[in-house]
Amino acid sequence: MERVLSGMQPSGRLHLGNLVGALQNWVRLQEKYECYYFIADWHALTTQYTDASQIKENIEDMLVNYLAVGLDPKKSTIFIQSWVPEHAELHILLSMITPLGWLERVPTYKEKQQEIKDRDLATHGFLGYPVLQSADILIYKANYVPVGIDQLSHLEITREICRRFNFLYGDVFPEPEGLLTEFPKVTGLDGRKMSKSYNNCIYLSDAPKEVEQKIKTMMTDPKRIRRTDKGDPELSPVFQLHKIFSTKNEQEEVADSCRTAAIGCLDCKEILIKNIFKVLEPIWSARKRFLEKPEFLKDIARAGTEKAKMAAKETLTEVKNVLGLY
Ligand code: SF4
């Protein structure tokens, strides 16, 4: 079976954007591939090194969410990055062969430095995170990494490092490919892309009342001020969520009724609330079950880590052999 690898940074709670943009796809992939899904806690430190106090809590919440959305530890290897120190060892070895220019060229290096103004990101760790990412992927000899089209360039440096290593020392790593999947972009409560940095998210851990309240107060077509005003659904963030969570029939009905002012925004939002609840209710009840069993969660992480370690050690032995390390 070919291998897939993916991970997420525990830098905050998971939201509907993460669910639709990644996790639901991961659940599908585990039926077809040997999947390794990890919690990238070292990556979270590359930007959150000044205050790491939330990372532990976020790891626990992420683990609960991984399981609650349907990742199955019997099918997928679920583990925590820092529990497999072999990633760090391969990171060091790969960093020896990675030209500095490749890292300085990575678009997110400059973008994030400009975006995150409250922390100094001119650090060795932040510059080197693509090498760590490459180690994460190559240590499992992953064939595929699920990505959206806009993230394909992120994988390119891993492919370059992989080629350079294989050229210098012999074919050890398969060149990982992006497993392209087009995901709808999930709109946040304010009409921008749903993102924790915009504070516009519906989180998987939000209580039902909170979700209801967030949708009831979310932005609509700004020109639809009175109930009698006709609206344009395309200008309404609410409708953007209908496009993901409501049926085609409901979408058409809502769009027509919005344009003719036959429906009020609150009624329109009620339909959306019902449909988002349909997706979130099974996740909420699974979260509740898992949160009641913290030891079980740790066991899952331990077992996944042991399995990941075995594969990682095997690769590292091969790497050390070709490098001629004693
Ligand atoms: S009726 Fe629905 S789609 Fe139209 S503006 Fe109101 S909330 Fe948005």
What residues have CB less than 8 Å from 90, skipping those under 6 apart? 135, 138, 139, 312, 315, 316, 319
Residue 115 has what pLDDT? Answer: 75
Cα 177 from Cα 171, distance rounded (Å): 16
Q: Give 215's pLDDT tier (boundaries 50, 70, 90).
A: very high
Question: How far is ligand 1, taken at its centre, from the CA of residue 265, in Å?
Answer: 5
What are φ and ψ of residue 28, in 5° steps?
-65, -40
**What are 63-80's pLDDT values in tens digits?**
999 999 999 999 999 999
Q: Give 257's pLDDT tier (boundaries 50, 70, 90).
A: very high
Residue 198 one-letter amino acid: Y
**What are 275-312's pLDDT values in tens digits?**
999 999 999 999 999 999 989 999 999 999 999 999 99
End-to-end CA distance of the chain: 32
Cα 177 from Cα 159, distance rounded (Å): 8
Q: Which residues are the active-site residues?
A: 112, 193, 196
> The pTM is what?
0.92
What is the CB neighbour count within 10 angstroms for residue 245? 22
Residue 309 token pair: 């370690």
Question: Ligand 1: which of 216, 227, 254 to mutate, most ligand atoms within 8 Å of CB?
Answer: 254
Q: Give 166's pLDDT tier (boundaries 50, 70, 90).
A: very high
- Domain ranges for the chain: 3-186+294-323, 206-287
CA distances for 272 relative to 119, 204, 221, 244, 248, angstroms: 38, 16, 15, 10, 13
Residue 193 reports pLDDT greater than 80:
yes
User: Which fold would CATH assign to domain 206-287?
Assistant: Tyrosyl-Transfer RNA Synthetase (1.10.240)
Q: Give 113's pLDDT tier (boundaries 50, 70, 90).
A: confident
What are φ and ψ of residue 325, in 5° steps?
-80, 150
Residue 224 reports pLDDT greater than 80:
yes
Residue 286 has what pLDDT? Answer: 97
CATH superfamily of 3-186+294-323: HUPs (3.40.50.620)
Question: How far is ligand 1, taken at its centre, from the CA of residue 238, in Å?
Answer: 6
CA distances for 135 relative to 38, 88, 128, 176, 272, angstroms: 13, 8, 11, 12, 42
What residue owns the CA closest to ligand 1's atom 4?
Answer: 258
* Fold agreement (3-186+294-323, 206-287): no
What residues have CB less than 8 Å from 193, skipping those under 6 apart? 17, 185, 186, 187
Residue 249 reports pLDDT greater than 90:
yes
**What are 11-40's pLDDT values in tens digits?**
889 999 999 999 999 999 999 999 999 999
**What are 314-324's pLDDT values in tens digits?**
999 999 999 99
Question: Ligand 1: which of 217, 268, 272, 274 to mutate, most ligand atoms within 8 Å of CB?
Answer: 268
**Does residue 263 line the site of ligand 1, with CB under 6 A?**
yes
Cα 105 from Cα 165, distance rounded (Å): 19
Burial of 260 (0-12, 13-18, 19+ CB in 10 A): exposed
**Does residue 238 line the site of ligand 1, with CB under 6 A?**
yes
